[in-house]
Structure formats: structure tokens, C-alpha cells
Amino acid sequence: MNVSPKTAIEYRERLLIVMEHIQANMDGDLQLDTLADVAGFSPYHFHRVFKAFMGEPVRQYIKRLRLRRAAKQLLCEEKSVTEVALDAGYETVSAFNKAFKQMFGVSPTAFDGPVFVPDEFDEQRVTIDAEIRSLPARKVLYVRRQGLVGGTFTKVSQDAYRVVWAYLSKYDLWSYIVACLGITPDDMEVVPDEDCRFDACIELSKDAQYQLEGEVQEQIIEAGRFAVFMHIGPYDTLWKSWQVIYRDWLPDSGETLRDAAPYESYIDNPANTSPDQLRTEIHVPIE
């Protein structure tokens, strides 16, 4: 990675380089790892920084640019809708027609311009406090699930934790629980919904005796420094704190992101805590 930017201006400059790269390579390699390398960020964090600053995910940004180019091609070039759809990266004309109408309000065949550019994302900055912690390595038991349903991990996380709870009951490990964690290394707006991963994790005390079986496996969360933030509220509002962290706290913090996956620590039991009182710690790895 390159030297970490230290101000919001420097972050925007890096993102401008990425945007220029996307413009110049609309039909080229626009994979997350490539764009993260152009920006000088870890893939773990790049998509979150991009979304926080730009107000939309990388995938959506690229889709919007390709549709704008498609609209110009329909107006200025002698190409069929099928040719334009393929140029825009759509496998079927029906999928292209649907996306085009969602953006421009009319079908490709009825489009007669002009091409409107959405307003630049601009949201008031928010202050959020961080506690910097140096944490040891954490060995956790986990069950992995993939796939977003309705844009959230609610269904797969519940399914994964049911397996974890059954395992804890089978081996009478409830009294050894230290923490309940969730790791989501993929961004739901960058990785296809069906491929997004969720790891339902349980950290047990060192004196716990157990054996791995079936879907229950082990992984290590590496030791290091973390910026830790407290989110209070329903789990489906966690994205708001994530956005504030990467857009408002990080640029002014002077900290450098570490090449490791961030994670959440669920402090309260949702079975006996009201949603607006649920506490979740967000751990962001830093150098």
C-alpha cells in the first residue's frame, strides 16, 4: 500500500484518480482489487471508503457511467439497442432495458436525451468518537454463510448462529462465551449478493474444552491496533456508523488502515434488549 492519506482532500484526490481510471477503462479490468490498488487502499477498506465519500457503491457508480455512455451511444451512434446493451456489460437486452428505464425514466427506444448527471453526493459531516485499542490475537469458532436476502445478512446470520448455538449446547459451552462477533469481509454492493460472506463467530475463554465438527471451524483474528466505535441502535442501522467512520473520522484521524478485515462485536442479547438499545462495537484495523 502507498502512504496513507491524512486529510479529506487527500482521500478525495485518491478517489479522483480511481474515477479517472474507471473512465479510461470502461471495458477493461474494473475488479475491486484492481481499483483498490489504483487508490492505494486495502481491498478490505477501499469499497467502504469509496461509498462513504461518493454516496454510492463502486459497482453502482460503474453501472451509472456505463448507462450514461449507452444513452449517448443511442443518441449519437448508429448502433442497435442490442449492441449498446452488450457494450454496457449486459448479457440480455431485457436486463439492459430495465436498468436503463430505472435510470432515465424511459425505455432505450424512447430515449431522446439529454443525459442528466446526478447531483454530487454531499452530506453534513458527523463527529464520532473512537477508542484506540491494541488487541491480542483472538481465536474464534465460526460458521460461514453466503448470500444476501433482501439486501441484508439477517437470514443467513440467523441460520449461521443457530448452528453455533446448537454446538454450544451440545458441548455445554455457554458459560465460556467471551464475545459474539460478526465478520463480513465482502461489501454487499461490490460482491454479487449470492457470494457475500458472513462469519458468525464466538470467542470462548482459554479454558474451554471442545472439538471441531461439521460446519463449526476455527479462525484467528490477527493481533494489532484497532479503532473501536460504539454503535447504539438496531442492527439494520449499522451502515450509518460505518459510513461516518470512513468518511468523517478516518481522514482527520491521522491513522493508516491495516490490511485486515474489520468486524463487529455484539454486546447485548437481542432476545432481551430493545432494538434501539442494542450496543455494537465496530472494530477497524489500523497500523
Q: The domain spanning residue 168 has which CATH number? A: 3.20.80.10
Q: Does 104 share its domain with 136?
A: no
> Cis omega before residue 136 (within 30°)?
no
With 0.85 as the threshold, say if the pTM is over it: no
Q: How many domains does the chain have?
A: 2
Domain enclosing residue 244, as ranges: 131-286
* Residue 270 in domain: yes
Indicate the pLDDT class of residue 181, thresholds 50, 70 and 90.
very high
* Co-location of 105 and 143 in the same domain: no
Residue 87 lies in a domain: yes
Is position 145 within any domain? Answer: yes
pLDDT tens track for 110-137: 887 655 544 444 455 677 889 999 999 9
Residue 104 belongs to a domain: yes
Domain shared by 170 and 239, yes or no: yes
Asked whether the beta carbons of 259 and 33 are under 8 A apart, the reply is no
Residue 52 within a domain: no
CATH, residue 70: 1.10.10.60
Strands 224-232 and 197-204: unpaired
Residues 279 and 144 in one domain: yes
161/25 Cα distance (integer angstroms): 42
Tell me, yes or no, whether 247 lies in a domain: yes
Q: What are phi and psi of 140, to 5 degrees?
A: -130, 150
pLDDT digits (tens, 9 = 90+) for 269-283: 988 999 999 999 999
Domain assignment present for 13 = no
With cut-offs at 50, 70 and 90, classify the pLDDT of residue 5. Answer: low
Q: Is residue 76 part of a domain?
A: yes
- What letter represents residue 112's amino acid? D
